[in-house]
Amino acid sequence: MNVTLLLFLIVVGITLVITGWAARRANTTVQFWAAGRGITGWQNGLAIAGDYMSAASFLGIAGLIAFNGYDGFMYSVGWLVAYLTVLFLIAEPMRNTGKYTMADVLAYRMRPVPVRSAAAVSTLAVSASYMMAQMIGAGSLIKILIPTLDSNLKGWFSWEVLGTKLDPSITLVGLLMMIYVIAGGMVATTWVQIVKAVMLMGGAILLSFLVLLHFGFNLGNFFTKIASVKDAKSGLNFMQPGIQYQYGKETVWGIDKALLENVSLGMALILGTAGLPHILMRFFTVPNGRAARTSVAWAMGLIGSFYIMTTFLGFGAATLVGKAHICAVGSTCKTPNSNLAAPKLAEFLGNSFFGTGGGEFLLALIAAVAFATILAVVAGLTLAASSAFSHDFYVNVLRRGIAHGEVSEREQVLVARITAAVVGLIAIWLASKAGATTNAAALVAGLAFVIAASANLPAILFTLFWKRFNTWGAVAGLLGGTVMSIWLYTIGPGFSLPVPTHPAFPLANVGIVSIPFGFLCAVVFTWIGELVRADRLAEIKFHEIDVRAQTGLGAEPAAAI
């Protein structure tokens, strides 16, 4: 058995043991959705880091920096600064007023049936686009890094469903995430995320250390080497901004297009994080608002340290391996694959420090870390997506809101598990179908963050802090932001491969239009709602949410596990 497969099986083994242990603690709704609210601040901080740093962070940013130099580093900056929005405005009020989902907070003031339905739509849209990207990435990663596994899997999973042949690697990832969530709920998901965060940090520290060791811990030499790497197209060196989006080439609406792309990307990164359902959901797992605050502190420490290390991973790959040599093992390297920057760097460092066996081992280790990374993120996403459907839509809209019935704990958890299974199966099918034609890496920053910022953020912020906000505004913000983001994105240059030459919308990053549009929808429809006197309750209920959000009075208590 080769070392890659062994490490890979160890990761799977650890996560399954965790799931087995957690399975006994996933029988009630508060356990299944919120781990009994018994996760401590630092544990939740690690779990947030594990939930947040996806394959797009680890492989994606390392690759972007290795290929585009400085411009790739902008993602690292944005993804950390985003947590200030979460810390200042979202984390504690969320914990103080919510129960299991973002929609719980909105339903405090608004009419629950329309607002929960709209929130379920936006949550599913964010989670689905995020999950697609992760699973497509996982599929291609396994094929390239562990080709033997993929060919072995073919014998086991070669099913054809509705005319789409399921990808065996994607199916494996999908089945594992379904096992974690269905059997172990939030408890298993949390601990899988914690283990992954530790592995990811360990991997990044090891690689960064070896890169520095290679340069004799002389940072000056390192940066001189980076500056000697030139981009062929623009002639810029890799320390200079402007390689990914070239400045002074084109103008859109009278402004430099590269500037707009970067600002638009920044808006999505900074504002989108605070609206990601799988991150918001993590704040319901801690006992109180103070622990929510502590968990953001821990998360920021870890996430920030990791993103600083992307300097060493990305620039290390650019200088030591070189763009031209970053591609799959055995191929002739005609089309470099940016996702392989970190694995290739690991292989190079292993070879140079520990001989040939070392290269193979480090490559295998980094592949295993990347695999754990993907598993932890997709588990969080599955949980968020199934909560939107089962808790918001099935339990609160269909059964309580429309049928005026009562729903037992048993039924709620059962429906949650069934929904997680359905979400997983749909994700496997869609990812297998879309795999070849979708620009997977761009889906995350391009769509998931934009929908979160355009639809979820205005609804949450206005619910918590704007007295006049009402059901009309909330529903319009959620749906308007979601639809506008998806529409602009699909007609823009970011969505499909190959990239269209004359897209109907000029920018790949659509946030600069869709985010203000989402906020505008929320405001304008609040006024219209007031004009027709549709929803007087929302304003009366504001006093309650105001006091609760600020003080934690009457917050959901921690359950005894």
Partner 1 sequence: MATEPVPGGADPASTPPVVDAPQEVAAWEGLEATAEFKDLVRARWKFVIPATVFFLVYYFLLPVLNGVATGFMRTNVIGDVNVAYLFALSQFLMAWLLAFFYIRRANTVFDALASRVRELAGRRVQS
User: How distant is the alpha carbon of residue 106 from its chain centre?
Assistant: 22
- Of the pair 92, 360, the CB lying nearest partner 1 is at 92
Which residues, numbered 282-301, are part of the site for partner 1 (CB under 8 A)?
A: 287-288, 290, 293-294, 296-297, 300-301
- Of the pair 271, 362, the CB lying nearest partner 1 is at 271
- Of the pair 137, 401, the CB lying nearest partner 1 is at 401
- Of the pair 23, 113, the CB lying nearest partner 1 is at 113
- Does position 398 interact with partner 1 (CB under 8 A)? The reply is no
- Does position 83 interact with partner 1 (CB under 8 A)? The reply is yes
- Build a one-symbol-per-residue string for 521-540: x at contacts with partner 1 by CB under 8 A, - elsewhere: ----------------xx-x
Residue 306: CB partners within 8 Å, gap ≥ 6? 49, 53, 57, 200, 201, 204
Name the helix (H) or strand (E) containing 425: helix 409-434
- Does position 363 interact with partner 1 (CB under 8 A)? The reply is no
247 contacts 259 by C-beta, under 8 angstroms: yes
- Build a one-symbol-per-residue string for 43-72: x at contacts with partner 1 by CB under 8 A, - elsewhere: ---------------------------x--
- Of the pair 3, 256, the CB lying nearest partner 1 is at 256
Task: Write down the residue that tokens 């754990």 correspond to.
Answer: 372
- Tell me the three-class secondary structure of 76-123, residue by residue: HHHHHHHHHHHHHHHHHHHHHHCCCCHHHHHHHHCCHHHHHHHHHHHH
Judge if the upstream peptide bond of residue 336 is cis by omega within 30 degrees of 0: no
- Does position 137 interact with partner 1 (CB under 8 A)? The reply is no
Separation of alpha carbons 283 and 96, rounded Å: 9
Residue 227: CB partners within 8 Å, gap ≥ 6? 237, 238, 239
- Of the pair 23, 77, the CB lying nearest partner 1 is at 77
Three-state DSSP class for residue 368: helix
Contact pick of 12, 259, 425, 434 for partner 1 (by CB under 8 A): 259
- Does position 110 interact with partner 1 (CB under 8 A)? The reply is yes
Which residues, numbered 541-560, are part of the site for partner 1 (CB under 8 A)?
A: 541, 543-544, 546-547, 550-558
From the CB of 332, what's the least distance to partner 1, in Å?
33
From the CB of 112, what's the least distance to partner 1, in Å?
5
169 contacts 157 by C-beta, under 8 angstroms: no
- Does position 73 interact with partner 1 (CB under 8 A)? The reply is yes
Three-state DSSP class for residue 281: helix
From the CB of 78, what's the least distance to partner 1, in Å?
8
Contact pick of 99, 196, 214, 344 for partner 1 (by CB under 8 A): 99
| CA-based nearest residue to 456, from 222, 229, 276, 215 | 276
Separation of alpha carbons 547 and 539, rounded Å: 13
- Does position 109 interact with partner 1 (CB under 8 A)? The reply is yes
- Of the pair 437, 551, the CB lying nearest partner 1 is at 551
483 contacts 172 by C-beta, under 8 angstroms: no
From the CB of 267, what's the least distance to partner 1, in Å?
8
Neighbours of 17 (CB within 10 A): 11
Which residues, numbered 199-228, are part of the site for partner 1 (CB under 8 A)?
A: 220, 223-224, 226-227
Applying CB under 8 A, the span of 45-53, 84-92, 427-435, 515-523 interacting with partner 1 comes to 84-92
| CA-based nearest residue to 98, from 89, 113, 108, 88 | 108
Interface size with partner 1, residues (CB under 8 A): 80
